[in-house]
Amino acid sequence: MVADLFRNLFSFLNRGWLPYLIVLGHMGAGTLLVYNLPRSNLAFLTLMTSFLSLYFFRTNLRFKLISGIVLTLVAIPVLGVRNIFYLEVIFQVSVFAALALGLNIVVGFAGLLDLGYVAFYAVGAYLWAFFGSQQFYVLHYAPGTQPSDLPFLLPGDTFYLFLLLGVIVAAITGLILGLPVLRVRGDYLAIVTLGFGEVIRVLANNLDKPLNFTNGPQGITPIQRPTMPDFAVEWFNGLFGPLIGHPVSSANMYNLMFYLMALFVIVVIIFVTKRLDDSALGRAWTAVREDETAALAQGIPLVKVKLLAFAVGASFAGIMGVLLAASRTFISPESFSFMQSIGVLAMVILGGSGSIPGVILGAATITILNLQVLQGFSLYLNELRQSDAVIPIINFAWKDLSTQLDPAKYQRMLFGLILILMMIFRPAGLIPAKRRERDLSKYQSP
Amino acid sequence: MKGIQRYVNVTEIVRPIGHLLAFSVGSAALMSAIVIVLALILDRTVVGADLMDRYNVSLYTYTMINLPQVVIDGLTIGFVYAAIALGYTMVYGVLEFINFAHSEIFAVGAFVGVELLIALDATGVLAGATLGMAYAYLIMALLAGMLAAGGLAMAVERVAYRPLRGASRLVPLISAIGVSFLLQDLIRLVESLTTGQFNRIMPTFGNFDQRIILGKLNMGASNITLGISIKSIIVIAAAVLMLVALNYLVNATRIGKAMRAVAQDRGTASLMGINVNRIISITFLVGGLLGGAAGVLFALKFTRIDPFVGFFPGLKAFTAAVLGGIGNLTGALLGGLVLGMLETFAGSFMGVFTMGAAGSEYKDIFAFSILILVLIFRPQGLMGKHVGQKA
């Protein structure tokens, strides 16, 4: 009933010039709101959801492309530099979107549940962390005892080479890990990959002896940032300075640069994913996902096809790991816990496994929930704690609330709820993959 | 005697105890032999020389002195793993489904038991309790933990797994992972709202912390006392009791027969008049009861618990279940013992054997490596029969 009403309204709005007006209006409103109210979460959400209306309303492809480019390359950089926190949120969204797209290949396309996916992310991150820092000269010191005047091993320029190396090394790691485990059946594979993920984390934690490779739980810092061309800051200030209202420092410029790089990587990943999905390999993945035995009978080399899925998925995580290490200038094993793997899995499941726009939507939703909603709730609780407010009926003073209750740390609950609810009510995700829509229909009727 | 035998199937009680004895002795002997041989070999190399330099003791002597205590510790931890592994293996046997949330059900059991004891401790009963009463309180905590965990397991099955029955294999597994994460934070939420902190310490009472000295060993210049704490004995005894009871339930009662029927063929079982949903519920209940008991025992042995306490024991118990052959109760037992032994031996001797390069911090990896090796070379486990994948 409500759904019908909604569908009718949507198709009514989708006629003639109306969708163009709506999309432009939404984008304009979002941009103006964020420009004028840089601290408002609601304004930020308006801006972010304009991507959704851009995706859903029926406009022609050229309009979509141009609007998307204006939004991502002009509006967001300008607005983001005005409030660097948003740029950080968007950067995180892009990092997780790339991870989710990578996991999507493994889980969504090939149907292999990988619970240790961040291991590859860690491989990429530690790769640059080791070569792009002083760690090489720290090899013979115990953590914390090294002299302070050590040089960096490689100059910042080599970062760009390491983006490529990250892809290759992570893909090789994917092959090495995949080779022994891929003969294992579906649900076992999940647990084994979980084990591998933990192995990588434990190694990162403990490879500070006999030779200090990873600096143990303290993590590696400082890690070099890539060199930025000198003219970039001047050029950007000259072009956008009047709009932003203040000159941009080079530190903020770095945030912008990493955002653009992440965006670039995502565009490449989307392109690769789309091409793969339409290729013979993509069809082989689908076949393996739907029925392994039948796929084998059709002459699909199971292990090879699965290995390729593992390697491709891993390579996406590898390049993002390199990017993460450079942008944070600090990494520690903590960032590569099992929870992160499940977080990425939750993004894939929420958005719709196998569906590219779905997975990106899932990544954006969960990251924003994580960084803004949960943390906003935490701040709100803290304010309540400091006030004299009392819950009326049960007569509970807010300041008696335990300080251990910090919603920002309840990501597990968020991930858990998303996984359970999606599996029960909408296993195909928010934006189901086109092909999956057909496949899952048999589960809809009991 | 004949009269009893008509009602009680004695063989089903004696058999698992026999298995237990054989497995314990066997795994202990095997591991000891390996370690002793390794020690004898390494004694001639730089490793032995290094140890001689630092502590003036040969590697062989060092190994022999530590060995009995390591065996005892390995047995204790092995029984804990075996008790948790039973929960996994039972559910897997009946549903072919990895109950990922079992580790949190275990944690809930631990928390309920420990909270009950903490509450009792606050009233002051525990401190002044006689020995008999102390054991009564412990049994009370065990029962509370078991009931809470059993009820929770049933509820989880009803809410999060039953609607997904019939979907592809990965769907309920993902849901189970979700339940596991949700429960971890729910425990944390409830604990921080009610007590203000989520690290809980088991109160000390009774004589559980005392050690029974089994003997003194003199080896060269050093001597070492060999002992076992009373709580380890309790853990072992309780685990044995659980194993025997479960084995009896599955192999010698009507409910057990129904369970085995459901495990073999759900459709046919329901045609034979078995209420499949009820049997699956009972399976989860029993798994939860065992998990809860294991949780309280774990808290007794290791004293400190937090909401994430279930994760690693859960994973290792799963490894144990796979190692023994998942779906096979005796196999879970064997797997638990072998894994407990391996882990304790690795934790105690790896550091010395590798000259400190890789010590006990790698013992968690050890379990995973075993899991991976078993799955590659013998996916049906040590005792499992090879079965094709059910459609």
Nearest CA in chain A to B365: A199
How far apart CA A422 and CA A415 sit, in angstroms, is: 11
Which of B368, B380, B390 should one mutate to test binding to chain A, selecting the residue with the greatest count of A CBs within 10 A? B368
Chain B: give the shortest CA distance to residue A159, in Å. 32
Cβ-Cβ contacts under 8 Å between A and B: the total is 136
B contact residues 192-251, partner A, Cβ 8 Å cutoff: 192-193, 196-198
Contacts of residue A185 in chain B, CB cutoff 8 Å?
A: 379, 389
Which of B46, B185, B189, B198 should one mutate to test binding to chain A, selecting the residue with the greatest count of A CBs within 10 A? B185
**What pLDDT does A23 receive?**
86
Q: What is the DSSP letter of B200?
A: E
**What pLDDT does A391 receive?**
77
Which residue would you say has higher pLDDT here, A389 or B315? B315
The pairing of beta strand B211-219 with beta strand B222-229? antiparallel
In angstroms, what CA-CA distances link A78 with A23, A368, B42? 20, 20, 66
Contacts of residue B160 in chain A, CB cutoff 8 Å?
A: 420, 423-424
Chain A: give the shortest CA distance to residue B125, in Å. 28
**What pLDDT does B385 receive?**
63
How far apart CA B58 and CA B44 sit, in angstroms, is: 10
Nearest CA in chain A to B389: A185
In angstroms, what CA-CA distances link B100 with A113, A118, A416, B91? 14, 19, 12, 11
**What pLDDT does B276 receive?**
93
**What pLDDT does A211 receive?**
80
pLDDT at B221 over 70: no
Contacts of residue B196 in chain A, CB cutoff 8 Å?
A: 402-404
Structure token digits, residue A357: 């726009």
Rounded to the nearest 10 degrees, the angle between the axes of helix B254-264 and helix B276-302 is 110
Rounded to the nearest 10 degrees, the angle between the axes of helix B59-95 and helix B10-43 is 140
Which residue would you say has higher pLDDT here, A275 or A240? A275
Residue contact A187–B169, C-beta within 8 A:
yes
**What pLDDT does A215 receive?**
83
Residue contact B173–A113, C-beta within 8 A:
yes
pLDDT at A278 over 90: no
Residue contact A402–B196, C-beta within 8 A:
yes
Chain A: give the shortest CA distance to residue B158, in Å. 12
Q: What is the DSSP letter of B275?
A: -
Q: Long-range CB contacts (< 8 A, 24+ apart) of B168-174?
A: B169/A186, B169/A187, B169/B96, B169/B97, B170/A111, B170/A113, B170/A186, B170/A187, B170/A190, B171/A423, B171/A427, B172/A423, B172/B97, B173/A113, B173/A187, B173/A190, B173/B97, B173/B98, B173/B100, B174/A113, B174/A345, B174/A349, B174/A419, B174/A423
Under the banding of pLDDT at 50, 70 and 90, the label for residue A424 is: very high
**What pLDDT does A390 receive?**
77
What's the pTM?
Answer: 0.90
B322 touches chain A (CB under 8 A): yes
Contacts of residue B318 in chain A, CB cutoff 8 Å?
A: 191
Looking up tokens 């060092």, which residue turns up? B62
Summarised one tens digit per residue, pLDDT across range A351-409 is: 998 899 999 999 999 999 988 888 888 888 888 888 777 777 777 777 777 777 778 88
How far apart CA B158 and CA B284 sit, in angstroms, is: 10
Nearest CA in chain A to B361: A206
Summarised one tens digit per residue, pLDDT across range A14-49 is: 777 888 888 888 888 888 888 888 777 788 888 888
**What pLDDT does B388 receive?**
44
Which residue would you say has higher pLDDT here, A191 or B220? A191
Under the banding of pLDDT at 50, 70 and 90, the label for residue B390 is: very low
**What is the ipTM score, two decimals?**
0.88
